[in-house]
Amino acid sequence: MSDSTNKSAADDETSTGWALVTGASAGIGTAFCRALAARGYDLVLVARREDRLKTLADELNAQCGTRCHVLAADLADPAAPATIVAQLMDAGIEVECLVNNAGYGVPGRLVEVDWKTHADFLQVMVTAVCELCRALMPGMIDRGRGQIINVASVAGHMPGSEGHTLYAASKAFLIKLSESLSLEGRRHGIRVSALCPGFTYSEFHDVTGTRDRVSTMPGFMWLQADEVAEYGLDAVLGRKHRTVAIPGRVYRFLVWLNGAWPWLGRQLNQRSTHRFRKFNED
């Protein structure tokens, strides 16, 4: 379940510390790994696809001299977070920066999908995030420093919509969780941020089967994964900590607009649901 890429003792002295990234095998997760490696972090790479993680580990080691500890794990398994933490302890790894990035969407309405699929989704998107934060924060408190980024979404700020029923709800949860953890951690030197991107080029829409639909959106609505990752890291590592970080001016404007006129956000959501969502009758 694990594999390590070594570097010299001299390089160890210059390491910023260890960062753990879930969902590291693609999209925003991979972008986070590259950005963290460029900043001098060693990495714990967590995802289901071990082959991709090993390829990424080799890339980061070759380009940045990064030590990478690969943990192939499915966060839908309730035992996965505890197993990850136990393996970190066995390896003597103390995590300085936690990036809870793993996530996906479940197409369809709530009653159209079996409960096991929903339960797995909530395990990945909510429960595993809470458990990893709960397990790794005590070490950060003891060391007097640390960073946590919970990858949420602009959807967590907007009104709920038909279909993908639990997605926006789970992202709203992560935003509120991050706000609370930020308050709880700040006196211990811990910065916590909810990163809330909008539409981002990744595999997300291929997995949900909506690539053709969302590809009709104008280019200015799309974000690049590397830009999102850099924005998220700046939120917790930069001079000014941002507890809620929304990359992209267009999305910051939309969140502001929804706060000022929520009725307008509800109308826009209702009109766009069938344009960008996939349902069983489609």
The CATH number that applies at residue 8 is 3.40.50.720
What residues contact 128, with CB distance under 8 A and at least 6 apart? 22, 75, 80, 81, 100, 102
The mean pLDDT value for 189-213 works out to 73
Percent of the chain with pLDDT over 90: 73
Structural contact between residues 171 and 215, judged by C-beta atoms closer than 8 angstroms: no
pLDDT in the model for residue 10:
34
Selected catalytic residue, list 167, 201, 231, 251: 167
Tell me, what's the pLDDT at 222? 85
> How many domains does the chain contain in total?
1
- Is 82 within the bounds of a domain? yes
**CA torsion 178→183→185→187, rounded to 10°?**
160
Give pLDDT, residue 208: 46
For residue 124, being part of any structural domain is answered with: yes
Question: In one letter, which amino acid is 101?
Answer: N
167 is catalytic: yes
Enclosing domain of residue 75: 2-276
pLDDT of residue 258: 84
Helices marked H in the chain — which ranges? 9-13, 27-38, 50-64, 80-91, 115-122, 128-143, 165-185, 204-207, 211-214, 225-237, 249-260, 262-276
* Domain membership flag for residue 200: yes
Q: Is the pLDDT of residue 189 over 80?
A: yes
In a domain, 190, yes or no: yes
Q: How far is CA 79 from CA 41, 73, 74, 75, 117, in A?
A: 27, 10, 9, 8, 17
Strand partners, 148: 98, 192
The arithmetic mean of pLDDT across residues 60-71, rounded, is 97
Neighbours of 233 (CB within 10 A): 25
